[in-house]
Structures are given as C-alpha cells and as structure tokens.
Structure 1
Amino acid sequence: MDLRLVHLCILTLSCSFAQDIDLGTVIFANVLFRHGDRTPLNPYPTDPYKNESLWPVPFGQLTNLGRHRHLLLGRWLRNRYEHLLPDTYSLYDIYVRSTDVDRTLMSAEANLAGLYPPKDKQIWDNDIKWMPIPIHTIPEKQDNLLAAKKYCPKYDYEIEKLKNSPEIQRINKENEKLYIYLTEHSGKKIDSLESIEYLYDTLSIENIFNLTLPKWTTPVFPYKMQKLASMDFKLPAYNKILQRLKSGLLLGEMINHMVKKQEGALYPDRKLWIYSAHDTTVANLLMTLGVFDEHCPPYTATVLMELRVNTKEQYFVTISYKNSSAEPTLLTIPGCLALCPLHQFVKLTKDTIPEDWEKECVLDWEQHESSINLTTIFGILTSSILMLISLVFMIIGFVYWHYKREHNQYYRRLTTDPI
C-alpha cells in the first residue's frame, strides 16, 4: 500500500479521534508566528520595480497590511485564550521574544495591541488606545534559539553536505532548463532551490501589490516556481542532525515550559509564551516535529503548542497550525495521537533536542578536513607566501642597516687639509 495513503488514513483517524473526545482545557501555550506582510528583501537585477521609491516602505519592512493582519491575529489570540489571560497586561502572565529584525519586532507590537487593548487604569492616554508591552530580543549573530543564526560549523558542514547530496543534485539537474531560463530573464544566477525561493518570494509580493509582472514570468509563475520554492523550506531542518542544530533549542525551551507548568515550577507562572519570527522558523519547527506539509508559510502563519489538562488531571499536548484567516488545523506528530500525553510527547521529541548545542556544533577532524575546499587552501598558501616574502625583505633591510652601521656609512665633516 502507498505509504502516503497510510499516513493520510492515520491522520484522518487521529483527527476524527480528536473531534470525538474532550480536548480538555488549555492551561499554557507556546505561540510561534511569522511576521506580517513586507516589501521585497532585495529585488532581482532586471526587476522593473527595483527602485525603492516605488514602494510604500523601504525594502524588507512591514507594510500597513502586515501591521493590520497581526492586529487581527492578536485579537484572535485574545478570543482563544480569554479563559487564560486577564484583560489587563501583567509581566507574570506573558513573555514575548522576537528576532532582532524590524519586521518581526513591529509584528509583535501590532499583535500585542490586539491581544491587550488597554483597560481601566492601563489607559494612559485617551487619544491612544495602546498598551506598551516589553518585547525581548538579542542580536541575530548571537541568537541560536529563535533566529538560529549563531555560527555553528557542524550545521554549515551538514547543510552543505545535503545540498551536494545525490538527491538534491538530481532535483537541480531535473530543473536545469528552468534555472537557465530564470537566470537569463532575472539577471540573477538561479541554480538552486534557495535561489528559486528568493525570486519566487519577490514575484509573490509584487503580485500581492497588484503590480504587472514581466511577460517572461507567465510560463513559470506561480506554479512551476511554487513547487520548488516550497521544497526549499524543507532543507534547513531536513534530517535529525540539522533539526537538532537549527530548531532543537527552540523546541526544547517550549517543552521545558510545559513540563515546568505541569510540575508547578514555572516561575513566574506564565500562561503564554510568544515568539515572533520568520517563515523559515515556522517551517523548521514543523519539520522538527515531523508535521510539515510542504508549502511556503504565509504571513502571520502560526504554530500553537498547547498544554491541556482534562477532568482526570491528565496532561496532554496539542499542536495546531494556523496558516490563514481560517481556524487552525490540529496536527499529529508521528508515534502519537492528536491529543498527545505530555510524557509521551517529551519522549518522542527527545532525539531532536541537543544536550549541549555549543559542543554539538564543533566539527570532528575528518569533517574539518573535508570542509576545507581548494579556495580555502589557495587562500592559506597565498597568505603564507606573502608573509614569507615580507619576512625576507625585513631580514634584508636589517642586514643592510647593520652593514652601514658597522662600516660607519654616515655623513662626515668636510676636511680642510690641502690636497
């Protein structure tokens, strides 16, 4: 029997199971969402809309539509967790973390404006119905939790190994004509799933803005490009090693929150932990959980990891995914039901959470050797030769100076004796 059919049957059964039983009450939730709508990050060379002045905000920034979508998502979260959150903000109830990027920070702010409209004593200005709430972040290059951009040699080695694998090279080979076509018309070298996704993202945004796309895009956008762009979101967390190093810390923190909540040891005793991040963050977490359905996560795509308790005081975890304005879809991680007992959830995800991330990022010697390519070797040899030449000239200069000194090669007073 087709494995995909088996998986579909299991998913259908677990979904119907979840509908037939009491899901209990949510007592804590980890919420991860993508930022709202933005302008293109970096238009392609032949892009007729590459002049930034043609856009309402600079490249890569959150648009008014993006702000509004997150305001609405915040109101939706308020409605979902009305039983859990008091009407007024308290630092003991919620913690918000964002990547250190303008659009994610602004999305979090807009979201919180919908989640916590000020009431009573928290109204500090009658003309501004807004409550300032702290959003925590650290520089991207230091962030191995949410941005996942802190330097990790092992991850770089493994992702490069994947990109050069027969499987990915076969995909590139099969789409070689498309790559050449896109390269010729976009003016940018397109030779991988990553570069396809970059171009697809730009065209998608221009399409959302109702801009007329160049005629050359008609045969390839959106369908031919969309399939490959969606595939690209699987790569960063494609296998267990990549999952541990890319998304394992975030999943581990989320699980730690729920375990401590069950034990009554979460301090402060928060109800909601919000993460504002990117489409890749959403895809990586879903991949790590084994529930990613190949697609490009849209703006405000949201993952809900909720801790629930039933009338028998039993603790369960549910994973839901909200990728549009519709209600979220209940997902089922491999090896469990949609309503997964907390202890079993912990057991099933244990192999994707690193015990010591810094240590696991270190390359062993064989990997270190194979990661040194010819360009690196040439660079090392060139630097060494230049240093050697500089050293030789320094020695020659010193010897010449010493020779002049020993032979008294200095200016002398002119003699006045007759010749």
Structure 2
Amino acid sequence: MKTFLKNNKIRILLIVSLLLILTIAFDYNFFRFRLVSSPNNDLIEVEPLFAHVIFRHGERNIERTHPTDPYASESYWPGGYGALTKNGKKDMYELGKYLRRRYNKVIGEHYTPKTVYIHSTDYDRSLMSAEILASALFPPAGDQIWNKNLKWQPIPVHTRPMSQELLLAFKMPCPRFTYLLENYKKSTEYKTTLAKYGPLIKHWENQSGKSLEKPFDIYYLHDALYVEHRLGFDLPEWADEAIQGNKTLEYLAAFELQSYSQSTEMKKLEGGFVIKEMLDRFKEKSLDTLKPNRTLWIYSAHDLTFVNILNSLNVFDLHMPPYASSLHFELYKSGDDYHVQLFYRKSKEEILVPLEIPNCGTMCPLNTLYQLYKDILPTEFEDFNSACRHYSSK
C-alpha cells in the first residue's frame, strides 16, 4: 500500500512538472516579462512595452471574374464581390481573441483610446475585419457594459482615403513608382520568369477567355479560382488543375505581388514609410515621448501590404499571405536597452517563433534596425509626396 501511494505521488509530481513545463513553453513567446536570448546568445530579462500588429483581412468573396467563370454572377456571392464570408468573420473574431491572450498584460481589460489605436484601409472587408477583431479584443466589462444582452461595445476604427493610404502605397499618385514598376516589367528577370511559363499562361488565357498581360491579371485569375475552390465550388478541369496541380499559378501570383517591392527604391516607396512609422513610434516609446502613451497599434490590411513589408525587410519567402494572418512587431526593454522582435502568424499557431532579421538575429536592438534599413527608410524631412516628386525627375 505504501509503495502504491508512493508511486502515485511520483506520478502526480511528474504530471504537475509536465504541466508546468508546458505552461512555461506556452507562455514563452507571449508578450510579457520573460527571458530571451540576446544577439550575443546571453539570456536577458525583457519587459514588454509596445506592439504593432498588421493583419490581413478575413476570407472574402472573389474580387474579379473572367469570361468563362461559371460563378460570375454576384448571386453566388452574398454581400457582393470582395465581401467577407462567414468563415472570414469567424477567423477575425478568433484573431481578436488571440490578440487578447497575447497582449492582455499590457492593454488591460478595459478599452481606452490612450492604450490602443486601430487603423484600416478604406475597404469594406478590411474595415469590417477590424471591427470584428475589436469586438473580440475588447468585450465590455464592468462599467463598460451598456447592454446586458449584448456583449459588445463600439471601438473606433480609423481610416483615410486610398489616395493617402501608405498601407497600399501603390494606390497613391507616385510618378517615380509607376516608372520603376514599368521598368521592372520590361526587365530580363521579369520577362524570363513569365516566358518560362509562357505555354501555360497561354493555356489559362484560352480557358479563362481573359488576357493575362496587364499587371495583376494573373493575380486576379488565381484569386478567383482559389476562392471558388476554397468555398467548395465545382471547377472546370483546367481550373482545378491550376489550383491543385503544381501550384504554378499561385507562384506567379505571389511573384506578381513581390514585383511591387523588387528594388531598394521600390521597397522604400512601398514599405519604407510604414516601417519608419512603426520604428519611430518605438523610438518615442523608448524615450517616453509617445503621446498618447499607447501599448498596441493595429493595422487592418492586405496580402500586398504583407509582401511589401516583409520583402522590404528582406525576410520574405515567395508565397501568398493567408487570410487572417498577422505580423507582430514587438518592442522590449532590457535595462537601458530596447530590442525588437518580429513574428509572423500564418495560421492559428498559439506559440510563435520570431523571424530571423538579417545581420541581427531574432532579438534586434532598435537602433540597429535604423542602420540595417537606412536605404529603405525615408529621411527625417522626406514624406511620400516629396519622395515621389524628387524621384520623378530621375
């Protein structure tokens, strides 16, 4: 009997120890006080201060169709072209709950605009995504409950006209960027890549009834077929092969997205201004001059936003960013030093692995980032319009 009890105690201790280890592992990458490996491979204690989160909107309907598309009628698409699907709304709500778990320690239980700011591009799907995410991030509690039958409260989501939106900078008038993009489309690299798949592209043109010569034509064809397949529509054999076969159509669609941030100069115009905006807020936070002194800034954006930012930071591997994926730029303090980590949540991972920042590692000093990316960051007195005017004369 004593041996039995002793063995049971050992089993209980082992189970408790295992649970403790799992809890530590579960907490390891969450935004809180923790030990991390420094660039010198030393273990340092870091204090979380501030995070930027950029997420892609939830699953949506097709944006554009093609002449042979059997599902071209908007009657197939509740809410119309580009609208969020029910699953897209659910995924946004789940992402909001994830952000609550990850940033609970620094944002507090109650919503206040002095703590959190949410910005969205001026598209219905990204605005609605932000609103759904906010409802999960800040369900009303305590004195913020205004209707006992509705566990929801209004959270401001800010936007600006697309002609002024840096999250999708190619929508803003910029003669220099237009020139750079047109030049890249004429480059040997671009032409060689498309020529390699010339017969296949011609096959897709014949089957879809649509020319694929203009920018984003391949992207929109892939998008329509991918969405229809994802939502369970029966596709023609050629379309089913294009989506489920060797993934060439997906590769070319991602290649098209990457072409918008191909050169150093294009990276500056398409990603550099948003990256500088985030780094400058980190700097203000480190100097205790950020007003209001927020702890979380959220952007509701698009797949092209992800590609532009990741490619500008030289951490992009060619792929299509998934719906409801998120980028996390997190600022930590260790003694008198400030470090940044970058995470990419592609699906529903609970524990994230930090991205390796070239020539810096996974925990990068804030000041080092300014030096590493000085070629793509605008200067102190350079705004987007002046950069476009300056470059347009070259």
Q: TM-score range with shorter-chain normalisation?
A: 0.7 to 0.9
Q: TM-score, normalised by structure 2?
A: 0.85
Give 1:53's match in structure 2, choosing from 75, 81, 93. Answer: 75
Structure 1 residue 160, shift from structure 2 partner:
0.7
8 A contact 2:69–2:208 mirrored in 1? yes
Give 2:313's match in structure 1, choosing from 289, 311, 325. Answer: 289
**Structure 2 residue 346 is the aligned partner of structure 1 residue 319:** no
Structure 1 residue 221, shift from structure 2 partner:
2.3
Q: Which residue of 2 aligns with 1:372?
A: none
Q: Distance in 1 between matches of 2:119 and 2:90?
A: 20
Q: Distance in 2 between matches of 1:208 and 1:295?
A: 17
SS of corresponding position for 1:221: helix
8 A contact 1:176–1:191 mirrored in 2? no
Q: Distance in 2 between matches of 1:215 and 1:321?
A: 34
Give 1:303's match in structure 2, choosing from 324, 327, 331. Answer: 327
How many residues align structurally? Answer: 353
Q: 1:234 to 1:245 in 2, by over 3 A?
A: same
Q: 1:45 to 1:15 in 2, by over 3 A?
A: farther
Q: Which residue of 1 aligns with 2:104?
A: 82
Q: Distance in 1 between matches of 2:90 and 2:169?
A: 24
Q: Which residue of 2 aligns with 1:200?
A: 222
Q: 1:259 to 1:366 in 2, by over 3 A?
A: closer
Q: Which runs of 5+ in 2 are unaligned?
A: 1-35
Question: Larger Cα Rg: Structure 1 or Structure 2?
Answer: 1
SS of corresponding position for 2:362: coil
Structure 1 residue 20, shift from structure 2 partner:
7.8
Partner letter of residue 356 of structure 1?
D
Give 2:353's match in structure 1, choosing from 319, 329, 338. Answer: 329
Q: Which residue of 2 aligns with 1:374?
A: none
Partner letter of residue 163 of structure 2?
K
Structure 1 residue 314, shift from structure 2 partner:
2.1
SS of corresponding position for 1:324: coil
**Structure 2 residue 56 is the aligned partner of structure 1 residue 34:** yes
Show the 5 A alignment for 1:223-262. Answer: 223-262=247-286
Partner letter of residue 283 of structure 2?
V
Comparing 105-114 and 225-234, the one that deviates more: 225-234
Q: TM-score, normalised by structure 1?
A: 0.80
Show the 5 A alignment for 1:257-406. Answer: 257-310=281-334, 312-326=335-349, 327-354=351-378, 355-362=382-389
Partner letter of residue 326 of structure 2?
T
Show the 5 A alignment for 1:211-230. Answer: 211-222=233-244, 223-230=247-254
Q: Which runs of 5+ in 1 are unaligned?
A: 1-13, 368-419
Give 2:95's match in structure 1, choosing from 48, 61, 73. Answer: 73
Cα offsets for 1:3-62 (capped at 9, x unmatched): xxxxxxxxxxx9998998447232100111110010000111110001111222211111
Q: Distance in 2 between matches of 1:146 and 1:318?
A: 24
Structure 1 residue 269, shift from structure 2 partner:
0.3
Q: Distance in 2 between matches of 1:175 and 1:23?
A: 51
